[in-house]
Amino acid sequence: MTAPRILVFDSGLGGLTVYREFLEKRPDASYLYVADNAVFPYGDLQDEELVIRLLALFDVLIEREQPDLCVIACNTASTIALAPLRDHFEVPFVGTVPAIKTAGEKTKSGLFSLLATPGTVKRRYTSDLVEHFASHCHVTMVGAECLAELAEDFMRGKAIDSNQLVQILKPAFVEKRGVRTDIIVLGCTHYPLLINEMRKVELWPVSYIDPAPAIAKQGQVVLRRLFGENLNVGEEEVGNQLLYTGSDDIISNIGGYLSNIGLHEVRRDEIIR
């Protein structure tokens, strides 16, 4: 049986948190990670502009790479472009959804926060999730400026300004009528890269919900439908790749890390011009 070919896509390096989850569950698969850092962060683009770009990118990627599954490991891209991508291509797509439902089920205080990009926070899609799955809770939505950029800088070895991080996180910690926020939903795949740093400056202990495991779980549902339960472990090792569309700065100081997670071939590829 042929091993699955999985394309994991993000505007930057945050989707590596999702890639790692897929790699753990399907080590037999062949992976292509695509970082569209030429226009990072996606929140700076107009919705229509982003949809047009992603359709053009995937026109090339799907024809050239022949993936069996495409994973949009980006909240902004998923909320804006997942439906058009699914309508346009026959290849199955798995997207990224803020874990509002999970938080609504797990919170004990009834107070939880969504920490996401300003674009994700303001979209009707996100407020609909709150209305449908957490209407019994007090949900604080925090649009975090520059947190994804801080996460990428941190990956490349730059120290985090703890005071800046405190100011970003502070609105997510809410106390009402003697109870406190007990869960923070990380609404961007970049943010789990900073969980340990967040814990150092949190106002009180909270649980953080990383979106990556749920994305990978849904991906396995699709892969089982396509390939069954069997893993092809033990076959010849596949060389997994990372492509990036913009500046070489994205990979500065992380070559060892990428190699450790199986991304041995790394190169720049504009994909579209």
Domain harbouring 110, CATH code: 3.40.50.1860
CB atoms under 10 Å from CB of 177, counted, come to 7
Average pLDDT over residues 41-50: 89
Residue 249 and residue 202 share a domain: no
Q: Has residue 206 been placed in a domain? A: yes
Which range is least confidently modeled, 89-93, 214-218, 224-228? Answer: 224-228
Residue 217 and residue 82 share a domain: yes
Q: Has residue 273 been placed in a domain? A: no
Check if 146 is active-site. Answer: no
Expressed as residue numbers, the domain containing 154 is: 100-210
For position 233, what pLDDT does the model report? Answer: 52
- Domain-terminating residue out of 210, 229, 246: 210
Q: Has residue 57 been placed in a domain? A: yes
Q: Has residue 19 been placed in a domain? A: yes
pLDDT digits (tens, 9 = 90+) for 80-133: 999 999 999 999 999 998 999 999 999 999 999 999 998 889 888 899 999 999
pLDDT band at 70 (very low <50, low <70, confident <90, very high): very high
Q: Has residue 124 been placed in a domain? A: yes
Residue 149 and residue 167 share a domain: yes
Q: What token pair was written down for 166?
A: 């405190």
Check if 137 is active-site. Answer: no
For position 232, what pLDDT does the model report? Answer: 61
pLDDT digits (tens, 9 = 90+) for 158-197: 999 999 999 999 999 999 999 999 999 999 999 999 999 9
- Domain-terminating residue out of 195, 210, 225: 210
- Average pLDDT taken over every residue of the chain: 93
Average pLDDT over residues 26-32: 94
Residue 59 and residue 17 share a domain: yes
DSSP one-letter string for the chain: -PPPEEEEEESSSTTHHHHHHHHHH-TTSEEEEEE-GGG--GGGS-HHHHHHHHHHHHHHHHHHH--SEEEE--HHHHHHHHHHHHHH-SS-EE-----HHHHHHH-SSSEEEEEE-HHHHHSHHHHHHHHHH-TTSEEEEEE-TTHHHHHHHHHTTPPP-HHHHHHHHGGG--EETTEE--EEEE-STTGGGGHHHHHHH-SS--EEE-SHHHHHHHHHHHHHHHH-S---TTSPPP-EEEEESS-GGGGTT-HHHHHHTTEEEEEE--S--
Residue 186 and residue 153 share a domain: yes
- Between CA 150 and CA 146 the distance in angstroms is 6
Average pLDDT over residues 40-48: 88
pLDDT digits (tens, 9 = 90+) for 227-269: 887 666 545 456 799 999 999 999 999 999 999 999 999 999 9
